[in-house]
Chains A and B, each alone.
Chain A
């Protein structure tokens, strides 16, 4: 029916409609190009020579193709340390996030859970009120977490919003009969969680893992506040020093030949660095896209 209508439509497009379609398509193409251009530019610059980049000769495609920018990135001591740190924070942080979110969402999804309302209220309140920056800092300081690995994992252990989304997912996808029959068979609550709930929640675990993971990868604020030792800095803090504060420390480039080679290296390094720092996220993007969108749908409909 719908297909027929649109087919018929194509023949009958009025002049007014034609104008509308043309205007809309033009707008969308322009917008898409505006979004895409900076991305393409960064990518092209990162594969150009340092001299071409700083002379402004790169406009769309790589000029004087070279991978020296990437060589510089991988020889930069701080960047490598930052990369390793971020990988650790992201992997371990996300694992803890998922674990805690699930063990919290599961009991609260059980209809026969005692004091369920009370527990929920405790969590929901924190979505609207908080201690603020300084009191939180004092508490974390008091716990001795400053400048430790765990300060990047523990203070953001669970997002209440994510927990509610996971809880809604469990409640709406696993029928109550499953619980009842499992209980009749003598399945304990712990077993039920590991044998039934977790395997059936793979979809939501994937969504949450992506959201938490990207969050860890992109975060710089907590690291800036709670970490002062450069050896613990995540990649984003190193990026901030180089990209935003413009502190390219030539001593950190371990290859003296490279330093002498050209000053235009600094700009080239920045573009290559952006690509390297964003690559993992863009690599999962095609797979993640549909999950992400599903994730915000679940959240927006039931949250």
Chain B
């Protein structure tokens, strides 16, 4: 995109030299560069393109002995099984619930935080807040979920201690972790704890590009600081917001595997089983027989994701036409 502009200006020099030469002679001249590409291309083919061809087992009855190509065709059987299974509705609903809730919470909060940080006049204070709130981003998922389990332990965790302090009773409170309904809240808000600070960086960067003269002009016109947030700061980051919104909305049907899987237990499975964890369980933890079925579910998910992305793109094009006419 950006580089096509650069390369068109620059390739003139290259073109002059290549004029009238066949691709073989250019290949010979570039052979060292092509050699460089050997390992990356081999890597990408083996670990990305070969598996793509392997998707065909979604339409086959895969057996390890016969391999991907030799296994007999099964048509759409696996898709039908999935649509009819009692898990179908559950995993779809759970996936959508979690991702929509997550989007509603995790999308606006970093914007608010960035706007707040931007109004802080004490540079030292601002820097301290940033340094502290970025730390959790670097913790591993296992550590974060482990901390959550430890904190919410009714007997030894902070939750139990505080509960006993407040109620004054000696008995232990009911477990939160094992309550199915609390899963989604724990998932989303622990995510806020871990990523809110980090996610605000991109908006802070956009805000730092705001021309101070705009603020001065608004001040002279008597605008309060709050007014200036709404009329100067916010409009400056609207483009960033809309790009990120499109990217986020395009992945509504995919909830990351790592954290959900760690937070699952037998009691909250009703609410916490999502597509990615279900694919993993069907495919890799219940014996070899279900490779094809798991691939079919994964493929179904990818197709929905593709449709969503195209849809959101189309929508954003429509609205951006409107918005340019609005502003």
Same assembly: yes
Interface residues of A (CB under 8 A from B): 1-2, 5-6, 9-10, 14, 16-17, 20-21, 24-25, 27-28, 31-32, 34-36, 38-39, 41-42, 53-56, 59, 100, 103-104, 106-107, 110-114, 116, 119, 122-123, 126, 129-140, 142-143, 154-155, 157-158, 160, 163, 168, 171, 176, 180, 188-190, 193, 214, 217-221, 225, 236, 239-240, 242-244, 246, 267, 270-271, 274, 277-278, 281-282, 285, 289, 293, 296-297, 300, 302
Task: Write the chain B residue with the least CB distance to A225.
Answer: B284
B54 and A114 form a contact (CB under 8 A) = no
Which listed residue (A138, A142, A239, A289) contacts B131, Cβ 8 A?
Answer: A289
A130 and B119 form a contact (CB under 8 A) = no
A111 and B11 form a contact (CB under 8 A) = yes
**Can you give 11 contacting A-B residue pairs, CB < 8 Å?**
A2-B216, A6-B121, A28-B125, A32-B132, A135-B53, A139-B54, A157-B47, A239-B146, A242-B146, A274-B146, A300-B202
Cα distance, A108 to B283, chains bound together (Å): 37
Question: How many pairs of residues, A versus B, come closer than 8 Å at their CB atoms?
Answer: 274
A56-B156, A138-B68 known; A171 and B3 CB under 8 Å? Answer: yes
Task: Write the chain B residue with the least CB distance to A266.
Answer: B156
B86 within 8 A of A: no
B30 within 8 A of A: yes
Chain B residues, Cβ within 8 Å of A1: 212, 216
Contact size range, B: 35 or more
Chain A residues, Cβ within 8 Å of B135: 35, 39, 282, 285
B36 within 8 A of A: yes
A274 and B143 form a contact (CB under 8 A) = yes
Task: Write the chain B residue with the least CB distance to A293.
Answer: B201
B85 within 8 A of A: no
Give chain B's interface secondary structure class.
helix
B82 within 8 A of A: no
Which listed residue (B40, B50, B51, B219) contacts A158, Cβ 8 A?
Answer: B40
Chain B residues, Cβ within 8 Å of A132: 51, 55, 279, 295, 298-299, 302
Chain B residues, Cβ within 8 Å of A103: 36, 39-40
Which listed residue (A9, A54, A236) contacts B219, Cβ 8 A?
Answer: A9
Give chain A's interface secondary structure class.
helix
B131 and A54 form a contact (CB under 8 A) = no
Task: Write the chain A residue with the least CB distance to B290.
Answer: A134
Chain A residues, Cβ within 8 Å of B164: 56
Chain B residues, Cβ within 8 Å of A130: 48, 51-52, 302
A115 to chain B, nearest CB (A): 8
Cα distance, A129 to B143, chains bound together (Å): 30
Query: Other than the known A193-B36, A246-B149, what 19 A-B pairs have Cβ atoms closer than 8 Å?
Result: A16-B225, A20-B224, A31-B129, A35-B135, A56-B160, A56-B161, A59-B161, A123-B44, A126-B49, A130-B48, A130-B52, A131-B50, A140-B47, A143-B46, A155-B47, A158-B43, A244-B146, A244-B262, A278-B143
Contact mask for chain B residues 235-256; partner A; CB cutoff 8 A; 1 contact, 0 none:
0000000000000000000000
Task: Write the chain A residue with the least CB distance to B136.
Answer: A35
Cα distance, A168 to B17, chains bound together (Å): 24
Task: Write the chain B residue with the least CB distance to A107.
Answer: B33
Cα distance, A135 to B67, chains bound together (Å): 11
Cα distance, A141 to B146, chains bound together (Å): 31
Task: Write the chain B residue with the least CB distance to A2.
Answer: B212
B327 within 8 A of A: no
B54 and A5 form a contact (CB under 8 A) = no
Which listed residue (A2, A59, A220, A296) contacts B258, Cβ 8 A?
Answer: A220
Most buried by B among A31, A225, A296: A31
